[in-house]
Structure 1
Amino acid sequence: MSKKIIYSTRPFRQEFITQIATIAPEFSWQTTLKKSQISDVEIMLGWDRELESELLTKDSNLRWVQSISAGVDYLPLEQLSKNNVLLSNASGLHRDSISQHVLGVILSDYRGIHKSALNQEQHLWKDSTMTYRTLEQANLLIIGTGKIGQRLAELATPFGPTIFGINTSGHKLPNFKETYPIGQLHEVLPDMDIVVNILPLTPETTGLFNAQLFSVMNPEALFINVGRGKSVVTEDLIAALNKQQFRFAALDVFEEEPLPDTSPLWMMDNVLVTPHLSGMTPNFQEKFMQIFLENLKSYHKEQKIAINQVNLNKGY
């Protein structure tokens, strides 16, 4: 009888492979597969699009997918659900990196650092267009109050902004003055100085940031997107910036990636483009394996997921 397989789409250090073998000795660890081995894959780290059709046949033995990312919108969720495949994500792994990225963007904008970097290229010492703001006078809206949103609120609190949140139900959380259900987003936006999108991508959040939403934003607002690119309608974003419906956009994710070199966003003075780097995390393997090994122990014992199980109907 063939040995059951844990198939990983990326390599990990030997110390972790040894721990995996100790927890689940009946499994073989593989980072490449022969055609004859596909049917033996029971656990998968990451996702292999090229093998998707073979991994999701009615005769497949795939029982659990551990996503390497927090977002899972790129996975075939409906088919995973039909096949009764468990799915867990890496939620929380990137919370410090993304939160620090957002704070860096805010401070760079509020203290004129971004504009100074641009002026340096022109040897420009004084700039009459420079403005300076302080966070203790700002209303900060965090749209998506999961692990990243909560960490951002925690780190931002000492700087003194008044912090508001948007989540599905409006449930209360520490470090937020008020939280609102997503249905009240239009009502809340006009009073916000900083708007940060950290929402997962679902049918409800796809294209959420559109012309209608941008039209009610504070004209002095800073908009930051570190959520998902497809939650923003790019054409509407560009139009809103040109109409000065809000002041500045800092974008780390885009509808199309890499961002095409023909995109107007590259050349707009009121836009900061970063190449999907907010989630880049030092010590990724250690942090990821804390999640996977805990789940592997639970799966091996009870065929259940201990942490970060994804609701396949909701998509997060």
Structure 2
Amino acid sequence: MVESGAEVRYTTAERLPEDLRGADALFVWDFRCTGVEAAWLAADALQWVHVAGAGVDAVLFPALRDSDVVLTNSRGVFEGPIAEYVLGLVLTFAKDFAGTFAAQRERRWQHRETERIDGSAVVIAGTGPIGRAVARTLRSVGMRVEGIGRTRRDHDPDFGVVRGFDQLTRRLPHADFVVAASPLTERTEGMFNASTFAAMKPSARLINVGRGALVVTEDLVAALRDGVIAGAALDVFDTEPLPTSSPLWTMPAVLVSPHMSGDFVGSLPALAELFVDNYRCWLSGNPLRNVVDKRLGYVPTRASGG
């Protein structure tokens, strides 16, 4: 549909400075691409940048933030799949699936009791669409959830209670599971560190499906090694791919996955369809979907508060 009414240039990060000249819109298919900043001086006609991902931190450099260029993301594609993934991780910990798989490989009959998740407490850091989808999914299986976000709310439809980021450390001692689902901003970078890990229960597990830089990796490794927390499931990392030298690969009670919690069979066509729908809005002069507040670093919604 796009090619029938526009000149489409398929490019790479290396060729982007040349291909960006005269372009009105840029579709960043690889949301981790950092080549846009290097090519920015060539953006002489650019009006709109769309990212095929929920996070836009890779392209939200100062020159773009301060420009009049509209930035949109792919909110609406990943929320449900990520919530399902988080539930799967919670069950993996609670039901000790890793232990079951290991015993099966060794042909060892090892009966044991596992944990209930019904009634357990979850703190979700990040009350945007992904955090909300996680909250609804976990509540549906009887878990007690509360949110940590930019704006406090006492009667939130998804979380019940949302507290400000400044209350994170105070709420962590109540949590059996802690889910990091915040966008990466100056305020959230490194929010999970030695201090926050020390506030968690020794039996608590951290699940990160937000951004790798939300967590200070060295502090997490130390907390896991010293038994400060019981485990971690990590789908995102401050360096990706995770280096083979990282101790996280082999630490007990750590689950490592390669930034795949939102990816599902059919996700690529869904991303393309969302862009095409937004392209139609752009051509017709209608408001674009998923416009990012470049000051905040994400798409604000009346209900989310961040």
TM-score for both structures, normalised by structure 1:
0.85
In structure 1, C-alpha distance between the alignment counterparts of 2:18 and 2:160, rounded to whole Å: 56
Give 2:218's match in structure 1, choosing from 214, 232, 235: 235
User: What letter corresponds to residue 95 of structure 1 in structure 2?
Assistant: E
Alignment of 1:1-316 (within 5 A): 18=1, 20-21=2-3, 25=5, 27-32=6-11, 37-46=19-28, 49-50=34-35, 52-57=37-42, 60-126=44-110, 132-171=114-153, 172-302=155-285, 305-316=287-298
Gaps of 5+ in 2: 299-306
In structure 2, C-alpha distance between the alignment counterparts of 1:232 and 1:220, rounded to whole Å: 19
Hey, what does 2:304 align to over in structure 1? Answer: none
In structure 2, C-alpha distance between the alignment counterparts of 1:49 and 1:167, rounded to whole Å: 27
Identity of matched residues, %: 33
Number of residue pairs the alignment of both structures matches: 291
Change (3 A) 1:300 1:239: same
In structure 2, C-alpha distance between the alignment counterparts of 1:72 and 1:285, rounded to whole Å: 17
Higher-Rg member (1/2) = 1
The superposition leaves residues 175-199 of structure 1 with CA deviations (integer Å, 9 ceiling, x where unpaired) of 3232111111011100001110011
- Superposition RMSD on alpha carbons, in Å? 2.2
Q: Which moved more, 1:280-289 or 1:64-73?
A: 280-289
Other structure's SS at 1:136 match: coil
Query: Which structure has the highest helix share of the two?
Result: 1
Gaps of 5+ in 1: 1-17
Change (3 A) 1:142 1:123: same
The answer to whether the 8 Å contact 2:208/2:234 transfers is: yes
User: What letter corresponds to residue 190 of structure 1 in structure 2?
Assistant: P
Other structure's SS at 2:21 match: helix
Hey, what does 2:302 align to over in structure 1? Answer: none
TM-score for both structures, normalised by structure 2:
0.87
Change (3 A) 1:270 1:34: closer
In structure 1, C-alpha distance between the alignment counterparts of 2:193 and 2:52, rounded to whole Å: 29
The answer to whether the 8 Å contact 2:17/2:39 transfers is: no
